[in-house]
Amino acid sequence: MIFQTSRLLVRPLTFEDFEPFHEMQNNFNVMQYAAGKAQTFEENKVDLKKVINHYQETDNGFWVWAIDRKSDQTLIGTAAIIVDKKNEGEIGYRLLEKYWGNGYATEILKDLIEHGFENMNLKAIYANVDVRNIASVKMLDKSVLEFIGQEWNEDFQSYDRLYRKEQI
């Protein structure tokens, strides 16, 4: 286990997670603001293997974990902290669409930020979100991260809102 909230458990992904992982990554509604497209069965097999292999690397800065619902041990999504060379972490999260609207992302966001500062000793945590991703914009606006501006994302041909918090 990496950390837990009142309703959720965050743990390393395993190959047994492939079915719900693929369901999430293969859904355009989930992936439109992350990858710009749904990912195929083969792409997801490769991605999950890469994520799991990162856990063994001594200098790993690419942390993607499973989010399980405690009540039934069901995988409902993933949470991530990608650490850069400045020891700052970009956070991210994805939920299977059938679990949207239950407050899970808000719950995981708060503890993901705490984990980054308290357990990973990051200097700063940041998030970038497509302005069209209204649900994530609202969540980040209410979080402890501070809105610092907006910039053009050439890859997605859209504007991203930028959020950041420095370690105190």
Residues 134-159 have pLDDT tens digits of 999 999 999 999 999 999 999 888 99
**Strand blocks (E) in 56-100:** 62-69, 74-83, 88-95
Residues paired with 3 in a beta bridge? 10
Is 87 among the domain residues?
yes
Torsion-angle region of 101 (φ positive above 0: left; ψ -120 to 50: alpha; else: beta): left
- Cβ contact 51:13 at 8 Å: yes
On whether residue 131 sits in a domain, the answer given is: no
Regions in the chain scoring below 50 on pLDDT:
none
Residue 103 lies in a domain: yes
Q: What is the pLDDT of residues 3-15, one digit of tens each?
A: 999 999 999 999 9
Look at residue 135 and tell me if it is in a domain. Answer: no
In a domain, 150, yes or no: no
Residue 107 lies in a domain: yes
Total domains present in the chain: 1
Question: Which CATH number characterizes residue 110's domain?
Answer: 3.40.630.30
**Looking at the domain assignment, is residue 91 inside a domain?**
yes
Q: What sign has the CA pseudo-torsion 92, 59, 39, 102?
A: negative
pLDDT at position 36? 84
In a domain, 143, yes or no: no
